[in-house]
Chain A
Amino acid sequence: MDYKAIIAKYRDTTGGILEAFNAVQKELSYLPEEVIAEAARIFNIPAAEAYGVATFYSMYSVEARGKNVIRICESAPCHIAGADEVIAALERELGILMGESTVDGLFALEFTECVGQCQATPVITINGEPFFDVTAAKVPGILAKFQK
């Protein structure tokens, strides 16, 4: 769907800019400049304020990034459960470093703090879907689901 149509759906939601940004990101994976400008127009706020919102929240990116956003929890419970090994495996498997995207535009690799699935540390999420008790050995299998 066109980003203008997505944002327009939230026109009557007071304070709904986060809802609009969330919905756009589901489609585009990030918030391009024109999305921020359009949201500012629809919600009747200065563009600077809309940009301020887009840069405040860690799940938003104002720069282009891979389609499937992989986030690795680095909070203390995941940290001591071996998140570092998972990070190394993901970097190796994708050939990129944390904070980067693959050249084919398929994956982005990011840190996150706790995602609330601490019964099964270490945890990663891909497009918001959690994967549990992740080990280096499990990484290729998890990625394969998104490589199609």
Chain B
Amino acid sequence: MAEEMRIVLRNYGKIDPLEINDYIALDGYKALEKAKAMEQALLIADVKKANLRGRGGAGFNCGQKWSFAYQAQADQKYVICNADEGEPGTYKDRLIMENDPHTLIEGMAICAYAIGATKGYIYLRGEYPFLVSTLNAAIEQASKKGFLDKFSIEVRSGAGAYVCGEETALIESIEGKRGEPRFKPPYPPAEGLWGKPTIVNNVETFANIPVIVDKGGEWYASIGAPSYPGTKVFTLTGDINNRTFFEVPTNTTIYELIYKFGGGIPAGKKFKAVQIGGTSGAFIPTELLKTPVAFDAMSEIGATTGSGAVLVLDETRDIVDVVTRIAGFFEHESCGKCAPCREGTARTHELMHKLNEGFGSSEDLELLDRLGRVMSISCLCGLGQAAPAPVLSTIKHFNADYYAKLV
């Protein structure tokens, strides 16, 4: 069975986050020095070799993304850290920033050197106001020590909008606008913040970088599942004995997450379902628990690794009620820019509510299924595309729960 392995949380509990010398004593900022001694293209090649894939949910190859921004010709380039962390059930980025802010700053500084950026932003969700001073203190310490000589970082706060986690909505928000996603392409590495080449990476993605540079891409690529190597931080919520977090290699199975790391279901109750990757993730039944948590293995069963949120429901839970609440989330968070999502999330919530209250018919269920499939292919951004996943997956795997509530 897999063991916990800490890469991004390697310094958790070992250092004073407000004391840069603690970080340096544990070899902090050595990777940045090493990176700066390398040619940019070779540095990016090593990150590519690591096959590190974005930990913000979309799983895009990090080195590949960097190489697009590196090749782009521009007078100014930007590095943005996505610290919007809005996916319900997720708090891993907060853990990193709260306990080891320098690992994030070092990762960003390495990226800046690699692509040739001089200015960076950390877009911090409005719900984490207490982290602003931690991050600013760490940035100041790092620049005093000379680690940020050619790169400055500014912390920008959001103000409560899940959609701002979407990278182009986030960019709009930093520009001081409503956080509505842009049409893509162009993608941010070509045209991002203020139209300039921009790298947007998740906090956990950046936190992997210093270790990759230090130990080499090949080393990293050998950990966990080959197609999505490394570790992933998971945060466990719901009906689980250990309501806490774990960082595990990506070949760990869902079963191990729940029963080994999570300590199983409390009060001797039976497992019913688990939703992974946050509120836009699919609900997974018992039969599929042997699936590894890595991106592609999860895709194969119609699920996601996503942000690493793990919501466990025991046999007593009313799954239709939980999905109704989730449908309310998407109606609330839809930005309204495109019709399939603006209308679709509202109708989905309406239908779910009707079913949940016991007034729904089998036609409603069919309608919900069809609406969900249309939304997943026609919505402009990932919010609307993923919103139907909880509905569709529960209609598929927990059909009996819906039927029990039909008129």
Using CB atoms and an 8 Å cutoff, list the residues of chain A in contact with chain B: 14-19, 21-22, 43, 45, 49, 52-53, 56-60, 74-77, 79-81, 112-121, 125, 128-129
Contacts and interface: CB of A to CB of B under 8 A. Distances in A.
13 contacts: A16-B176, A18-B156, A18-B157, A18-B158, A18-B159, A18-B173, A52-B177, A76-B322, A76-B329, A116-B90, A116-B125, A116-B127, A118-B88
Given A15-B176, A59-B126, A80-B322, A113 B329 contact: yes
Given A15-B174, A53-B176, A77-B311, A114 B126 contact: no
A119 B91 contact: yes
A53 B86 contact: no
Contacts of B93: 116
B177 A119 contact: no
Contacts of A59: 126, 159-160
B145 interface: no
Contact of A79 (B157, B176, B235, B322): B322
A118 B235 contact: yes
B127 A76 contact: no
Interface stretch (B236-244, B352-360, B395-403): B236-244
B212 to A, nearest CB: 26
Contacts of A52: 177-178
Nearest to A129: B130
B179 interface: yes
A19 B124 CA distance: 11
A57 B162 contact: no
Contacts of B179: 56-57
Given A118-B91, A128-B127, 6 more contacts: A19-B157, A53-B176, A75-B88, A113-B86, A116-B127, A118-B237
Interface in B73-90: 85-90
Nearest to A58: B160
A116 B128 contact: yes
A52 B178 CA distance: 7
A118 B206 CA distance: 23
